[in-house]
């Protein structure tokens, strides 16, 4: 930062996104339960990391990045709090349904915005949108169905897309030229 510039926080945000969405997707796949480690991931590597990245995105004049990272960071904190029940909220499937529906609408808006930008970003947001909507339907209407498994698989693919994009941002930034197409 000797030259007064701030580095690009995108790779950090996408790595934390990739790890968080893959670990969360293990739940509908039946590979884990909602445990303290997953809550910690949602709160810290998901929620707080996204918020920090979102703030830095504003500082580098990336309104789209900030508008995606900040709300998703707050969503992950809200979801972790909802699931943990830290504020004494009862387990209300209708509220969880509305929660996922509204975040699905935001994901759709972010996906459309990502279409204007880089294609891997659009892919990971589109996959996240499908994951959110499948989890919504699965939790509320078809619990225990193959939809939850499909949501988990698509979530893992969203995480892989995030890792690819993060790696591209990281390598291209280090080299100062296009090493990996993003």
43 neighbors 82 (Cβ within 8 angstroms) = no
pLDDT above 80 for 97: no
Query: What does residue 29 show for φ and ψ, rounded to 5 degrees?
Result: -80, -5
Could you give the CA distance from residue 132 to residue 107 in angstroms, rounded to a whole number?
A: 8
Q: Sorting pLDDT into bands at 50, 70 and 90, what band is 139?
A: low
Calculate the dihedral angle through the C-alpha atoms of 116, 66, 85, 24, rounding to the nearest 10 degrees: 50
Percentage of residues in the chain having pLDDT higher than 70: 80
Residue-level pLDDT at 70: 93
pLDDT above 70 for 106: yes
The CATH label, of 3.40.50.300, 3.40.50.720, 1.25.40.600, 3.30.420.40, for the domain at 10-171 is 1.25.40.600
Residue-level pLDDT at 64: 86
Segment among 39-43, 65-69, 118-122 with least mean pLDDT: 118-122
Domain ranges of the chain: 10-171
pTM for this model (two decimals): 0.81
- Closest residue by Cα to residue 103 from 84, 77, 85: 77
6 CB-contact burial (10 Å; exposed 0-12 / middle 13-18 / buried 19+)? exposed
What is the maximum span of the chain, computed from C-alpha positions, in angstroms? 55
Could you give the CA distance from residue 101 to residue 51 in angstroms, rounded to a whole number?
A: 22
29 neighbors 149 (Cβ within 8 angstroms) = yes
- Closest residue by Cα to residue 164 from 133, 108, 118: 118
Residue-level pLDDT at 59: 93
């Amino acid at each position: 930062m000797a030259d007064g510039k701030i580095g690009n926080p995108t790779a950090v945000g996408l790595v934390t996104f990739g790890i968080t969405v893959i670990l969360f997707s293990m739940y509908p796949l039946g590979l884990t339960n909602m445990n303290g480690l997953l809550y910690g991931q949602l709160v810290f590597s998901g929620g707080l990391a996204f918020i920090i990245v979102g703030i830095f995105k504003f500082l580098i004049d990336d309104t789209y990045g900030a508008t995606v990272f900040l709300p998703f960071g707050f969503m992950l904190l809200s979801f972790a709090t909802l699931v943990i029940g830290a504020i004494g909220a009862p387990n209300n499937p209708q509220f969880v349904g509305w929660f996922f529906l509204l975040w699905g609408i935001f994901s759709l808006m972010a996906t459309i915005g990502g279409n204007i930008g880089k294609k891997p970003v659009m892919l990971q947001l589109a996959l996240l949108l499908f994951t959110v909507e499948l989890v919504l339907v699965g939790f509320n209407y078809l619990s225990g169905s193959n939809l939850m498994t499909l949501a988990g698989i698509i979530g893992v693919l969203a995480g892989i897309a995030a890792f690819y994009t993060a790696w591209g941002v990281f390598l291209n930034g280090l080299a100062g030229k296009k090493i990996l197409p993003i």
